[in-house]
Amino acid sequence: MTAADSRHVIGVDVGTGSARAGIFDLRGRMIASARHDITTFHAAGAIVEQSSAQVWQAVCHAVRQALAEAALAPHQIAGLGFDATCSLVVLGEGGRPLPVGPSEDPARDIIVWMDHRAVEQAARINAGAHPVLRYVGGRISPEMQTPKLLWLRERRPQVFDAAWQFLDLTDFLSWRATGDLARSTCTLTCKWTYLAHERRWDDDYFQRIGLGVLADEGYRRIGTRVVEPGTALGQGLSAAAAAELGLAPGTPVAAGLIDAHAGGLATVGAPGDPRDSLAYVFGTSSCTMTTTREPVFVPGVWGPYHSAMVPAAWLNEGGQSVAGAAIDRLLGLHPAAASVRQTAAQQGLALAEWLAQQLAQRHPQASDSVRLAAGLHVVPEFLGNRAPHADPQARGAIVGLGMETDTDSLLALYVAGLLGIGYGLRQIIEAQTAAGAPIRQIVISGGAGRLDLVRQLLADATGCPVIATQADEPVLLGAAMLGAVAGGCFSAVPGAMDAMSHRGRSHAPVEGELAALHARRYQAFVRLQDVMRELRAQEAAAVGSAPAA
């Protein structure tokens, strides 16, 4: 083994519920990992908040624990990379936290990605139809940062005015580690409307939506230096951060990625042309990543973003606001869920794992599972439709539910829910294909997509081959790849992708009669979406025409 082979890199992922650290060798093999939970605060008005101080402490705890588990010395770590949810961190002078919500608790200084407090602001921005919106699929989402910033300015002006920096959570972590305020191309392009292909902000956009003050200040509070993911920041780990993390001062730290994009990088990173594959990161929410040589504008699909994931390529990003979480919510509605969950726990399994196991035993041919869901249809859009309709007001629908309370009916609901996820993915693929961004296959990663049953049902529902990644933790691997580049282990991100990412088992979609059955169920899925929109429009019209009380 050479000296280079003995080096290792750390990937840190801050998700919605926890911070995780993974230590990898330069072949992409994870040798140790650890996690530490993060508290999420919910309040009325779709408010979801976290604490940046607690997030950082969770990161430090996870890194120290992973390092101990790996039995590595700090000098054996060649580099460190971060990814995180696209949450908004608001800091006052000197980095002190500022309260972003009605709790007035300054510790709660993060507006979490799933927070939908800015739905009204997003609607007003969209009504303006500014040309910048072409690069977010035509409609900005309340999950993005400019609607949230506008909400802060309008609803909490004292906090907005007192803010020293507004940071995407990934950029907060790299700043906290190094003191460098450089922002990642990924975060600013995907969530802040930065035009990476022109390397500029659009002054007119900020003036027209009511955030002209940021433009007037020269964008000093949201990013004046923008760098590619994997760029080594500052002088590496500061002495203070190194002491907290248990690493050596000066350890190279990379500009990071949004969590889904880190997963996407590792997912399409295996040998081959990334443009052939749609990366499907299937976790609490889902994200689709499609790489193209030239920009492709897809209504309702975010992007095209330049160099936001694969360097020098364009990215279209779709997904479902809840996916794994939608399945959990759906199963929780069933009368048998509590008792079956207890049975599963006694066997050391999560509910979905137990159900998948039962399906495998009762129906060895996974493709036949669709027959269990006969007459039962689910549109699992419990938190809106992210793509391709860009409709945050959309809600879920369940049609064909009976009075059954047994395990078989729970299995049928599970299958119907997974198929609903798959048909939503099919809809995104069709919209992108029509716009000029076809794909040959889906490469899947993420905790909710680990089961063979899930992968097969997604292949059948979409009509596309689904290929698994070998990495158990592709999001951590993607972050670690960035650390490897910052640490000089590879000259650029593509080299890290080729060396550290590998593909696993492939699942071919069904053909013939079952494929036709999925085509009919998909049409039913689309019709249910249409019906839900029509009902919502009728109710809104009725309320609007009703006499005032």
Ranking 26-30, 375-379, 382-386, 428-432 by mean pLDDT, the lowest is 382-386
Give me the residues paired with residue 305 across strands. Answer: 315
Could you say which DSSP state residue 97 is in?
Answer: B
Express each pLDDT in 89-140 by its tens digit: 999 999 999 999 999 999 999 999 999 999 999 999 999 999 999 999 899 9
| Distance of alpha carbon 427 from alpha carbon 406, whole angstroms | 32
Structural fold of domain 268-540: Nucleotidyltransferase; domain 5 (3.30.420)
Mean pLDDT across the stretch 240-255?
98
Q: Which CATH architecture has domain 8-255?
A: 2-Layer Sandwich (3.30)
What percent of the chain shows pLDDT beyond 90?
Answer: 84
Task: Specify the pLDDT at position 87.
Answer: 98
User: Quick one: pLDDT band at residue 524, thresholds 50, 70, 90?
Assistant: very high
Alpha-helical segments (H) within 179-296: 185-191, 203-209, 212-216, 239-245, 259-267
Is 346 a residue whose pLDDT tops 80? Answer: yes
Q: Convert the pLDDT of each residue in 398-420 to its tens digit.
A: 999 999 999 999 999 999 999 99
Whether the per-residue pLDDT at 439 is higher than 80: the answer is yes
Residue 442 β-bridge partners: 278, 466
Q: Where does the pLDDT of residue 270 fall: very low under 50, low under 70, confident under 90, or very high at 90 and above?
A: low
Task: Answer yes or no: are the C-beta atoms of 462 and 429 closer than 8 Å.
Answer: yes
Question: What's the token pair of residue 234?
Answer: 């500052």
Which residue, chain included where needed, has tokens 């709660």? 108
Q: Which residues contact 300 (CB under 8 A, 6 or more apart)?
A: 137, 138, 139, 318, 387, 388, 389, 390, 431
Give me the residue spans of the domains in the chain.
8-255, 268-540
Burial of 116 (0-12, 13-18, 19+ CB in 10 A): buried
Tokens of 396: 């879920």
Would you say residue 30 has pLDDT above 70? Answer: yes
The Cα-based distances of 481 to 20, 26, 183, 489, 500 in angstroms read: 15, 9, 18, 9, 7
Question: Taking 60 as the threshold, does the pLDDT of residue 162 lie above it?
Answer: yes
Q: What is the DSSP letter of 3?
A: T
Q: Residue range 243-251: average pLDDT?
A: 98
Residue pair 67/247 in contact by the 8 Å Cβ criterion: yes
Distance of alpha carbon 16 from alpha carbon 219, whole angstroms: 28
Mean pLDDT value of segment 2-13: 77
pLDDT at 5 over 70: no
Q: Which of 396, 308, 147 is nearest to 291 (CA)?
A: 308
Q: Determine the Cα–Cα distance for residues 382 and 138; give it in Å rounded to an integer.
A: 22
Give the closest residue to 193 by CA, choosing from 206, 208, 212, 180. 206
